[in-house]
Amino acid sequence: MKYTLAEEDYLKAIYKIAERQGVPVSTSAIADLMQTRPASVTDMLKKLAEKELIDYKRYHGVSLTKTGARWATQLIRKHRLWECFLVDKLGFNWDEVHEIAEQLEHIQSETLIDRLDDYLENPKFDPHGDPIPDASGAYRMRYQILLSDLGIGQRAILVGVREHGSTFLQYLDQNGLALGVDLEILEILPYDGSLRLRLAANDPILISGQVARQLYVRQIPTTG
Amino acid sequence: MKYTLAEEDYLKAIYKIAERQGVPVSTSAIADLMQTRPASVTDMLKKLAEKELIDYKRYHGVSLTKTGARWATQLIRKHRLWECFLVDKLGFNWDEVHEIAEQLEHIQSETLIDRLDDYLENPKFDPHGDPIPDASGAYRMRYQILLSDLGIGQRAILVGVREHGSTFLQYLDQNGLALGVDLEILEILPYDGSLRLRLAANDPILISGQVARQLYVRQIPTTG
DNA sequence: GTCGTACTTTAGCCCTGTCTAAAATTGTCC
DNA sequence: GGACAATTTTAGACAGGGCTAAAGTACGAC
């Protein structure tokens, strides 16, 4: 099967929203994410339903069918593998790859993506810490604990980011917040929920609660 | 500047035809190469002329403007670099890469292609022996001598192919005709112009005149 | 249960790129 | 120089995807 660029973009959007907010996915949520108008979304939903990629009831939102979910997962696999390629092989920074991968994910060729996967040595996570589905669509769930869920004195390793905007990622770079860093919460300011963190041997840094809610971590048991 | 997929395909087609048959390029030649109808071509030519990518006079064919030629060259650069990537890094055979590269050449990102070029160590020729333009659009002309231009007893190295179809390339593979092989013309059959070739230490092979006219070679001066 | 607001869909239009059928142009052959 | 065949262009239509404006639906507040 082959789908158009627009159809693929819609499938991915529906998948992403369903993943975060659950089903059913509303027309306006899709319009919002895709920077388009609800009326346009409705038009496309009818086409996707026609092709049995989504289940759609007028006025009641949509959910992906098995086929639709499968295709969306493949798109995500492609997107994330290309991001790995751009960062690991071509030396891009993690804040520069999203838009290029948005284009590359539409390239049609099963073989291509399987060979790319092998070439990259079958990575399990992309440069933002998002899990990469395998050829069958299965993937290992990432730790879903946010830095904002932890308390004072707890230690953790940064394993992923929820927000992918380049300004946000550059901000993390400038503060030494890269995937894999080991951090400890020194203090949580009562006024606005900002966090003071210790990163390795550096001076402590201060981040807002809003930033903390964008960071996935794996907790390290505090020894002793 | 940004152009649509269709516009880019037309530019490339015009460039290719101009390269082989010279200017002006006729509407039907374009329709032919692109597997579309002359009427559709006319429509698009008006749009390209509007954008000053081509010079177009009704009923008298077209030629690329400086801007149009520049853009076409960049597309060819992208196409050929991606072919190198697919063959050299991902292990594709030279008969499998054309269609994938057709898609990849439309990816929009200057940086991407420059980094890819560096990653591949700035190749000068693609897997079919076609020259790769540099970032400024300049490229080194390949030897334009065809195997069919040589006479009995002459030696040469295979440096390129004119035809890119996969059946043709597979035929070459099966007969040991890879780029870089050293060959000698043992005999030219008077009846139909077929050639008997010696390849390295192997048994001689017989190829048709039609095949010989698709093979670019660099002649080796016959010593003694 | 009715009302009002927010959300969703429909209707009708636009643009891109394609097509077929018909009209126009070119250029060649006599 | 005229007629005809081949080529090219125009006219009008259609499918994909998007928009605005207007109409329809859902559902919480009362």
What percent of chain B is predicted at pLDDT more than 90?
94
The reported pLDDT for the residue numbered A78 is 98
DSSP code, position B54: E
Residue A1 pLDDT class (50, 70, 90 cuts) = confident
Q: Enumerate the residues of chain A whose CB falls inside 8 A of the CB of residue B107.
A: 100, 103-104
The reported pLDDT for the residue numbered B223 is 66
Instruction: Compare all CA atoms of chain A with the CA of B85 and give the residue at the minimum distance.
Output: A116
The list of chain B residues with pLDDT below 70 reads: 223-224
Using one digit for the tens of pLDDT, what is the confidence trace for A22-64?
989 999 999 999 999 999 999 999 999 999 999 999 999 999 9
Strand C–CB B2 distance below 7 A: no
Structural contact between residues B131 and B141, judged by C-beta atoms closer than 8 angstroms: yes
Residue A142 pLDDT class (50, 70, 90 cuts) = confident
Q: Enumerate the residues of chain B whose CB falls inside 8 A of the CB of residue A96.
A: 111
Residue A6 pLDDT class (50, 70, 90 cuts) = very high
B212's tokens = 């010989």
Best residue in A97, A103, A119 for a mutation probing chain B (most B CBs within 10 Å): A103
Using one digit for the tens of pLDDT, what is the confidence trace for B78-102?
999 999 999 999 999 999 999 999 9
Best residue in A93, A110, A111 for a mutation probing chain B (most B CBs within 10 Å): A111
> In this complex, which of A90, A99, A108 lies closest to B116 when CB atoms are compared?
A90
Structural contact between residues B184 and B153, judged by C-beta atoms closer than 8 angstroms: yes
Q: Which nucleotide is nearest to B45 (CA to C1')?
A: D9
User: Residue type at A211?
Assistant: V
The reported pLDDT for the residue numbered A224 is 54
**Could you tell me the CA-to-CA distances from B66 to A179, B6, B7, B57 in Å, in that order?**
47, 19, 16, 17
Q: Enumerate the residues of chain A whose CB falls inside 8 A of the CB of residue B115.
A: 90-92
Q: Enumerate the residues of chain A whose CB falls inside 8 A of the CB of residue B103.
A: 107-109
Residue A223 pLDDT class (50, 70, 90 cuts) = low
The reported pLDDT for the residue numbered A14 is 98
The reported pLDDT for the residue numbered B120 is 98
Instruction: Compare all CA atoms of chain A with the CA of B91 and give the residue at the minimum distance.
Output: A115
> In this complex, which of B90, B99, B116 lies closest to A119 when CB atoms are compared?
B90
Model pTM? 0.94
**Could you tell me the CA-to-CA distances from B190 to A76, A77, B99, B196, B217 in Å, in that order?**
60, 58, 38, 12, 22
> In this complex, which of B91, B104, B115 lies closest to A115 when CB atoms are compared?
B91
The reported pLDDT for the residue numbered B1 is 84
The reported pLDDT for the residue numbered B224 is 54
Structural contact between residues A107 and A77, judged by C-beta atoms closer than 8 angstroms: no
- Rounded to whole angstroms, the Cα distance separating A196 from B12 reads 56
Q: Which nucleotide is nearest to B61 (CA to C1')?
A: D8
Average pLDDT in the A152-163 region? 96
Q: Which nucleotides of D are covered by protein (CB under 7 A)?
A: 7-12, 16-22, 24-26
Average pLDDT in the A115-131 region? 98
